[in-house]
Structure 1
């Protein structure tokens, strides 16, 4: 069995995430306590109780999801489940780097809080947005972006799975891309309820601000291979910071990352963290793989049983 641990990004959060595991497993509780201390406020309470509007703020969402993902990972590791490779979608890449021991957890949780703040603030609210386009080939969506770029910035942002590409940019250009996609027979083309145009060139400044924070942290040798969102290939230690900076304003090559892991023999994917979004993407990419998820006690028991642990 060749296992990949995969980690969700922003949008997977919900009030109550991680609570059951925190209460039952000491190794998970320790991670939540370390997060509270590193951030100087009670992120655990926000994960467990909300309120939703606070949890939805990008600068809170990112450290909250990271904390839950890392806490759950500790529970699996304690039970002897080891990955051969790891990848995370956007924010989830930080969970992968913590798993690989390239980033200290405390550094990571502080970094993603700042990352969330910068991603939110560099583009004033109402200026940028994102849209999901379903049922068209990637090449056609890329062409739609080129045409719609006549009215403003619009670029591919998330290559999620076959026939699902999210675009990002200025509101009028994204709306134009949605119109064009509908005209070309997209199954679905909808503007998303997001507060910023993530993973496009409009966020370049956020990457530059993040670079200053990354200067303060040490990247250590990777103990587990990590696939980068930017390249859909393995990350080398000396490229980690550069790729994390680029990741903010470049498209997330998720489908390509999963295909790379499959090509290298991964037969079992375990999504660790809130929700099952990535599990759905992997199934659409290759139905023949085993896909498990772990976000609470019930899913943990199912996963351990499937893994024969």
Structure 2
């Protein structure tokens, strides 16, 4: 948002972390200008994977940043840089959640995973996901209820593999699958009165069974992560439940590759924990907007304006 209004009172804040699709040239520029801690995050992340992430985020072409193996470390680094800017001002969340690869940012925020390990993992995650040979794509559908989407998905499955990949909000879902099945779903959805159906500019059918080819190698990567129990509640994508053990963190990170992102369910879980306000931590307003559409009573903020920090501190 261009300008932030101060909340009427101090609510219980959850911090939300965006996923792939939020990348853009110049991402993180404002926080880099305003925060020494943010600059240190970019330096540490760049060293961890041997790439100049500051330069990539500031000067990289849309094509470079959209490449999955680049987008994932860039998004996590940008989010954690914003996180560092909040932390250097003494702020901490009541709970966290991250959308898809944003779950890694959320785990860093909760003290469960070090930055360097997170960036190395998501760089590898992006490379593995980009290496999948099974053809597929993704389709966003807006304006249909969940039950109707599931019905149409079952009907389209006669034409190939298709699954609901992301539950973004009660009126927005993303399907993953083979092109024939997605085209059939699109025709059915339009006939059923969908407000919009858009094929996404992605290279693969993420969060679907078509990604199974890389599961074994990815499981090995996740098994090697040195995790700690989080210092605040973390709501996980694949279960929409809070972390109870390190095992459930590892399982969620592994299962994410082939399982759906239960984002709207995660938002509802946060509200059940007493959350009244959410702050999107990153150079994005996507996941906070989805949260608002899921639970309209939520107050939402983003960090697109550096004044966000001062507004939060003064509430």
With normalisation by structure 1, the TM-score equals: 0.95
- Structure 1 residues 273 and 199: CA distance shift in structure 2, 3 A: same
Partner of 1:67: 77
Q: Secondary structure of the residue that 2:257 maps to in structure 1?
A: helix
Partner of 1:229: 237
1:19 aligns with 2:25: no
State the alpha-carbon separation in 2 of the partners of residues 111 and 10 from structure 1. 15
Deviations 1:165-224, CA, capped at 9 Å, x for gaps: 110000111111111111111111222121111111111223322111122221112112
What is the CA-CA distance between 1:147 and the residue it aligns to?
Answer: 0.9
1:275 aligns with 2:284: yes
Q: Secondary structure of the residue that 1:103 maps to in structure 2?
A: coil
1:260 aligns with 2:278: no
Deviations 1:250-301, CA, capped at 9 Å, x for gaps: 0100001001111211011000112211121112112222100114xxx231
Q: What are the ranges of 5 or more consecutive residues in structure 2 without an aligned counterpart?
A: 1-10
Q: What are the ranges of 5 or more consecutive residues in structure 1 without an aligned counterpart?
A: none
1:158–1:254 contact (8 Å) kept in structure 2: yes
Partner of 1:305: 311
1:39 aligns with 2:36: no
State the alpha-carbon separation in 1 of the partners of residues 107 and 309 from structure 2. 22
Partner of 1:116: 126
1:12–1:274 contact (8 Å) kept in structure 2: yes
1:30 aligns with 2:36: no
1:107 aligns with 2:117: yes
Alignment of structure 1 residues 1-309 onto 2, 5 Å: 1-124=11-134, 127-235=135-243, 236-295=245-304, 299-308=305-314
What is the CA-CA distance between 1:238 and the residue it aligns to?
Answer: 2.2
1:175–1:191 contact (8 Å) kept in structure 2: no
State the alpha-carbon separation in 2 of the partners of residues 48 and 268 from structure 1. 30
What is the CA-CA distance between 1:106 and the residue it aligns to?
Answer: 0.6
What is the CA-CA distance between 1:11 and the residue it aligns to?
Answer: 0.5
With normalisation by structure 2, the TM-score equals: 0.93
